[in-house]
Structure 1
Amino acid sequence: MAKWFNVGKIVNTHGIKGEVRVISRTDFPEERYKVGNKLYLFLPNEAQPIELTVKSHRTHKNFDLLVFEGYENINLVEKFRDGILKVPESQLKELEEDEFYFHEIIGCLVKTTQGEVIGKITEILTPGANDVWVVKGENGKDILIPYIHDVVKEVDVQEKMVLIEPMEGLLS
């Protein structure tokens, strides 16, 4: 059974030339939406995914706008609304050291180097210079952990464990 990874959701059409508006869920939009790349569209009431080839990509506001080969008309893409774009596991590339896919990090247990359990990573924010990992604390509050070497000391995606050395004030 193939493993699929969500890269975006088609939320609407854009214009009349077959462009679709996508809320991106991928770590690498510039790579995933590159012209010629294959994406697979999963629709709510369809058994099989539709294989699509990216014809064009651009960003507009907070959306990625895509056109697919053979679907250059609004009438052909209206049915794509609410569909989920995915890629098979075989399309995931090897990452550099200290780089991780979001799905590898989300769900990891976070502990301090002193052994104190902080909570589990529930979300990853990408505000700019570095990612920020949102940890649901033991008390139910969200704790924001910057993914920088001064704070994150060890990441073990096999064991779903992250060790941090909290900076002063980070956990208060």
Structure 2
Amino acid sequence: MEDLLKVGVITTTHGVRGEVKVYPTTDPERFPELDYVLLDTGREKRKLEIEKVRFFKNLVILKFKGIDNINDIEMYKQRELWIPREEGQDLEEDEYYIADLIGMKVVLEDGSSFGTLTDVMETGANDVYVVENGEGEEILLPAIRECILDVDVEKNVMTIHLMKGLI
């Protein structure tokens, strides 16, 4: 399991006073509850205390303490923002952190190997799991109860039912 959870990506600056627009990779309403995030600078994770949170369309606008100038933050465009796992939200039944799903072994309901989960696409209606099979092909699986039978994070295994028309 990952120790850190990605909460967003800085898309661009906002104004000249050091604010940034962030594309959230978690529930956007989560940001007002956060005291800080860890900025992946490329060399290290830099702790940035959150001073102010606003929302604009599908983005979150963040202002960090001590960063008051566009020049202090501009170099971090397209950089990821993280939080420690213990700061993550409590999950409901059948909810998982994407970080825990990536790399998971995917097996069919009879136990035979199907592939590896390589990505999660968030579509709005339901997530779509991208699974790479043994031949390097990508298969898209809807994250719905009829298709995803079981997810065992501890064993790192997902059991699926292949619905007609999926492959």
Pair in the same fold by TM > 0.5 = yes
> Partner residue of 1:131?
127
TM-score normalized by structure 1? 0.82
**Structure 1 unaligned spans of 5+:** none
Q: Mark the CA change 1:109 to 1:35 in structure 2 (over 3 Å): closer, same or farther.
A: closer
**Residues 155-170 of structure 1: matches in 2 within 5 Å?**
155-170=151-166
1:94 counterpart (90, 93, 100): 90
TM-score normalized by structure 2? 0.84
Kindly tell me the number of residue pairs found equivalent between the two proteins.
166
**Structure 2 unaligned spans of 5+:** none
- Partner secondary structure for residue 49 of structure 1: strand
1:56 counterpart (53, 58, 61): 53
Sequence identity of aligned pairs in percent?
33
> Partner residue of 2:64?
68
> Partner residue of 1:13?
13
How far, CA to CA, are the matches of 2:101 and 2:18 in structure 1? Answer: 35
Q: Alpha-carbon deviation of 1:83?
A: 4.1
Q: CA RMSD in A?
A: 2.4
Q: Mark the CA change 1:151 to 1:65 in structure 2 (over 3 Å): closer, same or farther.
A: same
On the 8 A contact 1:42/1:86 being kept in 2, the answer is yes
How far, CA to CA, are the matches of 2:26 and 2:104 in structure 1? Answer: 17
Q: Alpha-carbon deviation of 1:44?
A: 3.1
Q: Mark the CA change 1:82 to 1:163 in structure 2 (over 3 Å): closer, same or farther.
A: closer
